[in-house]
Amino acid sequence: MEQYLNFNNRRFFSMVAFFMIVLFSFSVNFTVAQNNDNNNTVVTIDPKLGKLKQINAGVLNVGYAESGPANGPVVILLHGWPYDIHSYEDVAPILAKAGYRVIVPYLRGYGTTRFLSPETPRNGQQAAIASDIVALMDALQISKATIGGFDWGARTADIIAALWPERCKALVAVSGYIITNRVANLQPLSPKAELGWWYQYYFATDRGKAGYSANTRDFNRLIWQIASPKWNFDDTTYSRSATAFDNPDHVAIVIHNYRWRLSLAEGERKYDELEKRLATGLLIKVPTITIGSDFDGAAANGTAYAKKFVGPYKHIVLDGIGHNVPQEAPIAFANAVMEVERLKK
């Protein structure tokens, strides 16, 4: 019996050693494959958004979600402030099921997106954010995509469509044409309209920067409530997105973004030429659907910016919906993405 046990023990440990070698070999090969793919790694899985990945792109290591078939037509969906990729948690599954390859990145200063160098300015200007998305497309070897977004995401999508139309197959933009013109931004609005931008003036002060840093989650929850007063989101929904604000560069990017818009902070020189072109009021020629909601007030009908879109164009108004359109009205947003490529002049 002892000899039998010793024989089986030796056989057991030999088998364990064999499988450990096989697993180690697989792990090494898998890691090498990831590293050869521009550091594109799968970190985890989100039940709705799909694979959560990281990839080096431009000055960033970008965190993004990907779902749908790898060979499907590409859709890139961009969030705004103060939101994150979970704005598309119900849109992405609809599009993926319809056969689209859906990419939802964290913008700079959000979630798992990180700067590759501590020396890179924490710059929130519009051309920098748009350049990030073009760099992401390059890193993922995506030549052209339908791009949709709201808030910062809509502005970024507008800019890509205006500056790099060869990279934008079609556009879905909540609130329409919102490319920032800093000269126009210096002009005062009516008192009621100015009241709506109170947080921008708060961010212009040192007190505002300190307050946002100390109370980021409470502050952003207040913005959610103000911007979408009819959306009864729960604590779980907010908390899921609020983790994105823990990014170490979040406060710096947000503060710089709003100060830059008011000409209280400068951008980087390397983006000067792009900003000059944007300041001319470039027209957008790609097929476009714009979406107005209650958040847009009198501008919801889209007449104020319709002439900026000179290609195939359609405007949609969603009554009873606030600012976070894709999360509040996911079916309507997904339908717009699927419809926009079929628009005719």
> How many angstroms separate the CA atoms of 248 and 143, rounded?
31
* Per-residue confidence (pLDDT) for residue 25, from 0 to 100: 36
Q: Is the Cβ–Cβ distance between 60 and 198 less than 8 Å?
A: no
Residue 18 has pLDDT above 70, yes or no: no
> How many angstroms separate the CA atoms of 122 and 209, rounded?
14
* Per-residue confidence (pLDDT) for residue 38, from 0 to 100: 62
- Please name the residues in contact with 292: beta carbons below 8 A apart, sequence gap of 6 or more: 175, 176, 299, 300, 301, 302, 315, 316, 317, 318
State the pLDDT confidence band at 213, using cuts at 50, 70 and 90.
Answer: very high
SS (H, E, C) 318-331: ECCCCCCHHHHCHH
* Per-residue confidence (pLDDT) for residue 320, from 0 to 100: 98
Residue 286 has pLDDT above 70, yes or no: yes
Report the predicted TM-score, pTM, of the whole model to 2 decimal places: 0.89
Percent residues over pLDDT 70 in the chain: 89
More confident position, 345 or 176: 176
Q: Mean pLDDT, to the nearest integer, of 186-190?
A: 94
* Per-residue confidence (pLDDT) for residue 338, from 0 to 100: 98
Q: Mean pLDDT, to the nearest integer, of 54-58?
A: 98
What dihedral angle (degrees, nearest 10) is formed by the CA atoms of 235, 152, 120, 127? 170
Over the chain, what is the mean pLDDT? 91
Q: Is the Cβ–Cβ distance between 243 and 113 less than 8 Å?
A: no
State the pLDDT confidence band at 344, using cuts at 50, 70 and 90.
Answer: confident
Q: Mean pLDDT, to the nearest integer, of 180-186?
A: 95
Best CA proximity match to 256, nearest among 248, 243, 244, 265: 265
**pLDDT tens-digit map of 288-338:** 999 999 999 999 999 999 999 999 999 999 999 999 999 999 999 999 999
Residue 36 has pLDDT above 70, yes or no: no
DSSP-based helix, strand, coil % in the chain, nearest 5? 50, 15, 35
Q: Which token pair is 14?
A: 């030999």
Q: Which token pair is 205?
A: 């002060």
Neighbours of 68 (CB within 10 A): 21
Q: Mean pLDDT, to the nearest integer, of 172-200?
A: 96
Q: Mean pLDDT, to the nearest integer, of 66-80?
A: 98
**pLDDT tens-digit map of 249-285:** 999 999 999 999 999 999 999 999 999 999 999 999 9
Q: Mean pLDDT, to the nearest integer, of 56-60?
A: 98
